[in-house]
Structure 1
């Protein structure tokens, strides 16, 4: 194959690191470094907040970071947020509370942490978390997250299968009973479309690797979309190919094909 990606879009949790971890294996780090040495733009593309990517981004030579499923853009060279889109989370919180008793919610305070309605589990949220009332959390935010306490991912997926949440883009995690909502028409795919245009590139120049429901639009958008081996069936189904799992350094194995040592 003569094609080599000029833009490499990488999910974090379940792709570069085990879920919830900041640990990147030497093989994955080396493969990403080689990609940049070959002139590729490496973009972290994650559902994590800006605070949540800081430790990972510091370990890698990334060109750009797209956080909060596309709602917050971070330019490492400038050291600043270059785009932040928000929405009103109030109606979404009310709709989910009515459907999912016992759910807890947090709205992102970009670069700081979260305002929390209810108590999350230890380690759930990045940055400083402040307990708040409904009125305090119902303020414009780039990202709303919800955990349905004492329930499984399968139970959450079933409960929301017919749910209509107008005014937001939302996805359910496959490893936890966790839902993320961001502004309407904002996905990893739409963010990468705009970012690539700014870089003078197109989807045909892009390799994207991910493992979650929030990666579907990104994988469909990229010239080559690769799902991780442990990704759910519906994510693997939209990908062009499936890599080994995160525990097998699947992302490194894909990158090594295009950017050999």
Structure 2
């Protein structure tokens, strides 16, 4: 493919190794060289705005945009401010998830502030301050993101419980590493938000690139002219990719970026 001009990169499992919770020097160097080429690098993650900011700092991104909450929140990187926030009524979804996944705990995002939670989450997983609230308080107003964690279950059990299930008026994805459901407004995905951004930036569709490893990256990989799935991703993610990189623990994305940008 031609050298891409719009580079969308997932965080957990692509840039950052979930086991070590670090971005390796090789990956940081690869991203820095892409930035030096003049390409637009867009961190595209399911993380909240607060959870994304340390990644932007660690990569040294000087400007541009970041997609948070699977595309529900678009951030101006230089200003560290949301450009747009898409919300939805999460009450019907939370009620159905509570029935299908008994024992789940829930969190809704308060952009730039933290999360309302029905019970305390591991702070390493849910970034930013947590405020306890009733289920009714969590969904009293529109939210950009709802999280359900199925406590004492594993990701495969979650996948089996929700396989083929349609939840009301939302888009939801399942985490590969944790028993988490991430819910955002209907029609929102990394791919959909990236397409809007691509059009606004005036970048040709054939000059787009994306890399990811999760269920929430599938639409982004389909969107990109060249989509790369990480080696450790599930078969469903590999199936939609144009290329399969090495796994995150082997700096798979660094090798791909080195090749594409010819250094």
- Shorter chain as denominator, the TM-score bin is over 0.9
Question: Residues 45, 116 of structure 1: CA spacing in aligned structure 2 closer, same or farther, 3 A cutoff?
Answer: same
Alpha-carbon RMSD: 1.3
Mapped partners of 2:81, 2:233: distance in 1: 32
Other-structure match for 1:128: 129
Report if aligned partners of 1:7, 1:206 keep a CA contact under 8 Å in 2: yes
Mapped partners of 1:120, 1:61: distance in 2: 29
Mapped partners of 1:128, 1:77: distance in 2: 23
Other-structure match for 1:173: 175
Other-structure match for 2:48: 49
Report if aligned partners of 1:31, 1:259 keep a CA contact under 8 Å in 2: no
How far residue 145 of structure 1 moved from its aligned partner, in angstroms, is: 0.6
TM (normalized to structure 2)?
Answer: 0.95
State the Cα deviation string for residues 25-55 of structure 1 (Å, max 9, x = none).
1111111111111110000000000000111
Does residue 73 in structure 1 map to residue 69 in structure 2?
no
Mapped partners of 2:240, 2:90: distance in 1: 29
How far residue 61 of structure 1 moved from its aligned partner, in angstroms, is: 4.1
Matching of residues 3-82 of structure 1 within 5 Å: 3-19=2-18, 23-62=22-61, 63-82=64-83
TM (normalized to structure 1)?
Answer: 0.96
Mapped partners of 1:112, 1:16: distance in 2: 25
Other-structure match for 2:113: 112
Runs of 4+ in 1 over 6 A off after TM superposition: none
Unmatched 5+ residue regions in structure 1? none
State the Cα deviation string for residues 82-101 of structure 1 (Å, max 9, x = none).
01000111111100111111
Does residue 222 in structure 1 map to residue 224 in structure 2?
yes
SS at match of 2:239: helix
User: For 1:232, which of 222, 231, 234 is the aligned residue?
Assistant: 234
Report if aligned partners of 1:219, 1:239 keep a CA contact under 8 Å in 2: yes
How far residue 155 of structure 1 moved from its aligned partner, in angstroms, is: 0.6
Other-structure match for 2:88: 87
How far residue 120 of structure 1 moved from its aligned partner, in angstroms, is: 2.4
